[in-house]
Amino acid sequence: MPRPKLPAGDTQLIQIVDAALADSVRRSGAWLACKPGCAQCCMGVFTINQLDALRLQKGLATLARSDPERAARVRQRAREAAARLAPDFPGDPATGRVDQSREAYTRWNDFANLEPCAALDPQSKTCDLYEYRPLTCRTFGPPVRSEGELGVCELCFNGVSDEEIAKCEMYPDPDNLEAALLKKAEAATGKSGETIVVFALAGNAR
């Protein structure tokens, strides 16, 4: 059975988000500590949607063609992490879907906070699937507004006033293109809800 494809508009979405990131990076200057080898944002588990999962799976398939050994290492890390995390996963490890119940939300706060991302190369501390990374990864570091609050990476903007931080705010998806593409991705895969990087990659490896 052929693997579901990313919606055609995903390339446009990534271009919009990456352009917004570049603009925020320009305005942030030396206040932004992000650089290759800094893996602060690659530690700990976070949720991704089915559009992110499809993008990661495409990235792993692409890597398998260009660098099979590197792709095999990603697959192995994903399999090992999936087995390690499954017993305490606040959801269904068979599908990788995160449970949305209140009880699961409470468990999530203490779940795998020190777990490295399966896409992270443990030697170089860089992402093996960087071009295909989820939107959360693309927007971590610069100031991004969430639920009314402007958040930044704890390593960035040290000693900078709230006013200066606000001047560097990133607007990643002003037209909410991701929401429309997510509906298409869920229709293509038959899957809905959130998962995590490990299960997206481990599922792709089977």
pLDDT, tens digit, 9 for 90 and up, residues 89-113: 999 999 999 998 888 888 888 899 9
Own/partner pairs for 85-93, CB < 8 Å, 24+ apart? 85/45, 85/111, 85/112, 85/115, 85/196, 85/198, 88/112, 91/195, 93/199
* pTM flag (> 0.85): yes
| Residue-range domain boundaries for the chain | 37-205
pLDDT tens sequence across 156-197: 999 999 999 999 999 999 999 999 999 999 999 999 999 999
DSSP state of 34: -
Are 107 and 114 contacting, i.e. CB atoms less than 8 angstroms apart? no
Q: How far apart are CA 157 and CA 84, in angstroms?
A: 35
Q: How confident is the model at residue 204 (pLDDT cuts 50, 70, 90)?
A: very low
pLDDT tens sequence across 31-68: 998 888 888 889 999 999 999 999 999 999 999 999 99
Give percent of the chain with pLDDT exceeding 90: 79
